Structure 1
Amino acid sequence: MKHKLISVFLLVALLISPLAYSSDFRKGVDAFQKEDFQQAYQVFSSLANQGDALAQFTLGFMYENGQGVPQNDIEAVRWYHAAAEQGDALAQLSLGVRYTEGRGVPQNDAEAIRWYRAAAEQGQAQAQINLGARYIQGKGVPQNDAEAIRWFRAAAEQGDAQAQFRLSSMYFIGGGVVQNHVQAHMWANIAASQGNQNAVKLRNQLAEEMTPTQIQEAQKLAQEWVNSR
């Protein structure tokens, strides 16, 4: 999860438009990309204390990873919480992870669900996956495969390969849905095309249990889904 959040943050930073954010924020991003973390910290700290939610998330991220400041889980949570309360979906996801793992806060399944749901309802794909997984496990929520399917599908439709694999798996075992090898193969194939190796294995396993006609139908559905994007 930590590496996932790093990748997400860097993507956000690289895509920030100078027209959308202040020149000061751009200075912080530029410093961060140059790995001048102390300068980035100074910029983001100033903006965070002025109430900038994205700067607050970034400051939490830097405390989490010890970039420009000593690593400090409690400070990371403090800034994630400030940004999450303002509706920042990445901060809400990060806070959910913290409550799941008990890092910087006491472990609390109910709070993890609260923040995963807040981010998931904004369309944050990883939060949707995490929420779906909690429904399968019955942690913080009643066990409910149908709800898990709903959230996996929401992330899968956004193109998330992990969610596509999980959705495929649910169709394969009939968890929360009627067992359907065609749908399972379709989603496994889409995830496999993005390099998900678990999906490759599942797709191959499914193919051994399907007729040529079923495989052809699944491939057709997968291609139609890709073409609709």
Structure 2
Amino acid sequence: MKKLATFIITALSAFSLSAFAALNTEQNLAKEKGLILYNQLKITSALPYLEEASKAGDQDSQYYLGESLRKRNRYMTTAAQKWYEAAATQGNLYAMIQLGRSGNDLCVEMKNCPVSEVKPTDWLLKASLLAEPKAQQGDSEAMYLMYEATLDRNWLEKSAESGNSTAQFWMAISTRQGEGFVLPWKRKESVAHWFKASAEGGNPRAMMEYAAYLHESGGDLEVARRWIKTAAERGYESGVTSYGAYLAHTPERFGFELDLVKGYAITSLLKELDEGGSMQSYVEEVLPEIAEKMTPTQILDAEKFADQWKKSHPPLSFFPDKLGR
């Protein structure tokens, strides 16, 4: 217990100072590049960039490097644990929670989990001890992390009610799955409420879910179209895919006005996601279908529009959960 208390005091100091490693320009660019690639599910490509910033002591990069290594191997490896622990000793609660979850990792069944001086349950306890004071003070992110560390749904609800868009998204998902006490005839309404709140908080995944709800429930399609467009403008892969397809009427949904130039241009942006699942086969199928309806001049205009879009919008992203499973 004395060892645990010592760790907590040290970690609390680090947590209050955040990441104490100052990156130089080159290291900061490497971090940014690594995070872009990570969010595009280009895990292997992201590794050298995240490693450069991690070796410089940046705790966010250390955490995402741990995530990348774990996801690439699909279980907790020695290398992944090393970087999670590096981030955790700087007070990174996300890293502590992932280390805490390693007690249920695939490596347990494989009987090859990395050796650690700290038990998974102790990592979760440490995360809780650090997060709870901030949560009690009204910090909505800390409330959400308390939920992740304890699986107490009350914390999820408190975080959502305090405006955390991630918690609001998962409140919608869990409510849709039948969790929580909600009157049966009020459940869909509750799901929509939380998706809408999360969308308004900037969560592009919730934007697409809320747009789908409006479409399915016969709601305001103008509002639905606006959320799809906003999700695309944020760079969310699903938003870009849907916005491009619906503008080009491949298929026609949500009542978007036909715009072949924009539809082709936005769909062509997806070529960049060449490591993110089956995206290339989708692009190779849909782009020619749109091009058949276009003139050569329109295709040139679309290429110019796509170039302008890339310069004025965030990079494409799948927006994976920060606390990935």
Both proteins in one fold, TM over 0.5:
yes
1:222 CA drift (Å): 0.7
Aligned to 1:185: 264
DSSP 3-state at the match of 2:258: coil
Q: TM-score when scaled to structure 2? A: 0.54
Q: TM-score when scaled to structure 1? A: 0.73
Amino acid aligned to 2:302: A
Q: 1:54 aligned to 2:141?
A: yes
1:105 CA drift (Å): 5.0
1:206 CA drift (Å): 0.9
Deviations 1:106-148 (A, max 9, x none): 561111111111111121111111111112212xxx4333222
Amino acid aligned to 1:43: K
Aligned to 2:60: 14
Aligned pairs for 1:194-209 (under 5 A) are 194-195=273-274, 196-197=279-280, 198-209=282-293
Amino acid aligned to 1:26: G
Aligned to 1:161: 237
Structure 2 segments unaligned to the other structure (5+ residues): 1-38, 40-58, 64-87, 103-118, 314-325
Partners of 1:42 and 1:191 lie apart in 2 by: 42
- Over aligned residue pairs, what C-alpha RMSD do you find? 2.8
Partners of 1:111 and 1:215 lie apart in 2 by: 44
Aligned to 1:218: 302
Q: Say whether the 8 Å CA contact 2:157–2:171 is kept in structure 1.
A: yes
Deviations 1:140-184 (A, max 9, x none): xx4333222100111111111110111112212263221122121
Aligned to 2:123: 40
Partners of 2:286 and 2:146 lie apart in 1 by: 40
Aligned residue pair count: 198
Higher-Rg structure is: 2
DSSP 3-state at the match of 1:209: coil
Deviations 1:69-126 (A, max 9, x none): xxxxxx3x32211111111110011111112232445561111111111111121111
1:186 CA drift (Å): 1.5
Amino acid aligned to 1:60: Y
Q: 1:88 aligned to 2:164?
A: yes
Structure 1 segments unaligned to the other structure (5+ residues): 1-6, 8-12, 17-22, 65-74
Go from structure 1 to structure 2 and tell me whether the alpha carbon gap of 1:62 and 1:207 turns closer, same or farther (over 3 Å shift): farther
Amino acid aligned to 1:41: L
Aligned pairs for 1:25-174 (under 5 A) are 26=91, 28-34=93-99, 35=102, 37-46=120-129, 47-48=131-132, 50-51=135-136, 52-62=139-149, 75=152, 77-104=153-180, 106=182, 108-138=187-217, 142-171=218-247, 172=249, 173=252
Sequence identity (%): 21
Q: Say whether the 8 Å CA contact 2:128–2:149 is kept in structure 1.
A: no
Amino acid aligned to 2:224: A
Q: Say whether the 8 Å CA contact 1:168–1:187 is kept in structure 2.
A: yes
Q: Say whether the 8 Å CA contact 2:96–2:127 is kept in structure 1.
A: no
